[in-house]
Amino acid sequence: MKNIDTKEIIISSTKSIFGMIPSVGTALNELFFDYNGRIKQKRLNHFVKILREYYSQNIDVNIENIKTEDFNDLFESVLKRVVTTKSTLKLKRFRDILIKELSNPTTETELIDIYLDLITSLSEEEILILNNHKYFNKAYDLELDNLRYLKERFEKIMENKKKETIIFERSKYEDDFLKLKSSIEEIESKHKSFEKYRSANYYNLNENKFFFFKQRLYSKGLLYDIGIGGIGTKPFAYMNITEFGIEFIKFIKGN
C-alpha cells in the first residue's frame, strides 16, 4: 500500500463517488480530470481531496439535488474557479457552498456566478472586513436615530428637574429619567462594542491598506459610505453594508 500513489487513490475514489450518478458522472469526471497543466491539476486534486475528506465523514448526500441542472451548473462554475486559486481557505469556501447547495439550493441562481467571482477576487481580509460590517446596517442607523431622540428627551427632563421649585424626596421626573438613562446606555454600549470593526488595528492592517480594502468593497457594491458630506469626516471612515453585501455574506456563510 505504501507504493500506491496517494493522488491516484484520491482520484479513483472521487471518480467512484461521482461516477455512480449516471446523469452527471461522465461530465463531472471530465471536468475533474481532463484539465491540462500541472498547476491546475494540482489545485484540482487538492480540491478533490477536500471534497473526499468531507464526503468520507458525511455520507448523507441528497442525490436528487446532485442530479439537478442548477447544481451541475454550479459545480462547473466552482471547478472553473478552483483551478485559478491556490488559497486553501477559498477552496474550503467553495466546498462549503457545494455542500450548502446540496442540502438547501439557492433560489437566486442568476447571482451565483457573481458571488463566486467575489469569493475568487476578494482577499480573506476583505471578506472579514465585510462580514464585520454586517453590524452597520439599517437597524444600526435606526438605533442611531432613536439614540438622538432619546438624548433630546433626556436633556429636556434634566432641564425640568433643575426647574423644580418644590423639593421632593423623589423627583416626579425620576422614573422617566432612569428609563431614558438606561436605554441610552444600552444602545451606546452596544454600538461601542461594534466600533472596533471600523479600526485598521483590529485587522492588523495599516491605515492605507485598510482604506484600500474598503474602497474595493465599495467599488463592488458591498459597502457604502455614510459619512459623505459630514463636516470633518474623511472618506470611507464610516461604512455600512449594502443589502447586496448582506446577501453575499449569507451565501458564503450558509445562513
Residue-averaged pLDDT of the chain:
80
CA dihedral sign of residues 144, 148, 151, 157: negative
- For residue 107, is it within any domain? yes
Judged by DSSP in three states, 77 sits in helix
Percent of the chain with pLDDT strictly greater than 70: 75
CA-to-CA separations, 16 to 8, 29, 235, in angstroms, rounded: 12, 9, 54
- For residue 1, is it within any domain? no
Confidence of residue 162 (pLDDT cuts 50, 70, 90): confident
Set of cell numbers at residue 209: 491598506
Alpha helix (H) residue ranges in the chain: 6-19, 25-33, 38-57, 63-66, 69-82, 88-103, 112-121, 124-132, 138-163, 174-194, 207-219, 243-253
Domain edge (last residue) among 121, 150, 172:
121
CA max distance for the chain:
96
Domain edge (last residue) among 121, 147, 174:
121
Residues 149 and 115 placed together within one structural domain of the fold: no
Residues 152 and 92 placed together within one structural domain of the fold: no
- Rounded CA-CA distance 120/100 in Å is 18
More confident residue, 204 or 58: 204
Set of cell numbers at residue 187: 444602545
Residues 90 and 29 placed together within one structural domain of the fold: yes
10-30 pLDDT tens trace: 555 555 555 544 445 555 555
Range of the domain at 38: 6-121
Residues 186 and 74 placed together within one structural domain of the fold: no
- For residue 205, is it within any domain? yes
Backbone angles phi and psi of 172, in degrees to 5: -70, -10
Which of the 8 DSSP states describes residue 234? P
More confident residue, 4 or 96: 96
Residues 15 and 115 placed together within one structural domain of the fold: yes
CB of 44 closer than 8 Å to CB of 79:
yes
193-229 pLDDT tens trace: 999 999 999 999 999 999 999 999 999 999 999 877 6
CA-to-CA separations, 50 to 227, 228, 231, in angstroms, rounded: 43, 44, 51
Residues 25 and 136 placed together within one structural domain of the fold: no
- For residue 127, is it within any domain? no
Please tell me the number of Cα atoms within 13 Å of 58 on its side-chain side.
14
- Rounded CA-CA distance 155/158 in Å is 5
CA-to-CA separations, 127 to 90, 105, 121, 139, 197, in angstroms, rounded: 11, 22, 10, 21, 13
Residues 46-67 have a mean pLDDT of 72
Count of domains for the chain: 2
2, pLDDT greater than 70: no
166, pLDDT greater than 90: no
Residues 234 and 136 placed together within one structural domain of the fold: yes
Set of cell numbers at residue 121: 477576487
Residues 69 and 180 placed together within one structural domain of the fold: no
Which of the 8 DSSP states describes residue 225? E
Flag the least confident range among 11-20, 46-55, 82-91, 145-154. Answer: 11-20
Residues 166 and 217 placed together within one structural domain of the fold: yes
CA-to-CA separations, 147 to 28, 118, 185, 241, in angstroms, rounded: 55, 35, 9, 20
Residues 20 and 86 placed together within one structural domain of the fold: yes
54, pLDDT greater than 60: yes
- For residue 126, is it within any domain? no
